[in-house]
Structure 1
Amino acid sequence: MTIKTTPWDSAEFLDSEEAIEAYLEAARKAGDEVLLALAMKNADRARERLKNHVYLGDRIDNWFAGMELALLLSAIAVALLIAAYSPDGFWPGLWETLKQLNAYH
């Protein structure tokens, strides 16, 4: 009968800088140089994972900023379109449309 195992990666469970520091401190207290070297390698991989996770958060924030800009530009386009067909003329129509849009904001 064979035993089925799965790979273990300590870096997956080090999800904060505090956890990484505690992990390294425990390895230092053990007094084994090989264990400390392995812990430092795992800590480096964990920090890289954390850095990539923050990068993903930045990308999501940028996506939301892009959507806000798109909505703003759409509102301006609608205001210009309404102003172009205003019976009072373009500039008074634009001014009235912007006042109405500001009332909803």
Structure 2
Amino acid sequence: MFPIETISAKMLDYYADRSDALIIDVRDAALYQKSHIRGALNYPYSQIEQCRELPREKLLIFYCQRGGSSMAAARLFVKKGYKTRSVIGGFEAYRGRNLVISG
């Protein structure tokens, strides 16, 4: 079993400002379009297996709605040799300054 490191949702603002981290939203595209963390890429969990190459030199920060899918995505990429973190509580726990709300 690969241990997955976690971060709190409030740490997302810290990582959003770093050039050595990449924030990935694994919720479906409709939820991402409605609201997401500024700068986050959207790779829905249902399609995460098709996500071939992400920059290996960056720390991958995964979040979903509540935390379960991001943990699974982080585990998948740790097995591929990436450095990852999963956000505890997911998007529902985020209350930071990088929130983007559309329409």
Q: Does TM, normalized by the shorter one, top 0.5?
A: no
Range into which the TM-score falls when normalised by the shorter chain: under 0.3
Tell me which structure has the larger Cα radius of gyration.
Answer: 1
TM-score normalized by the length of structure 2: 0.26
TM-score normalized by the length of structure 1: 0.26
Greater fraction helix: 1
Greater fraction strand: 2
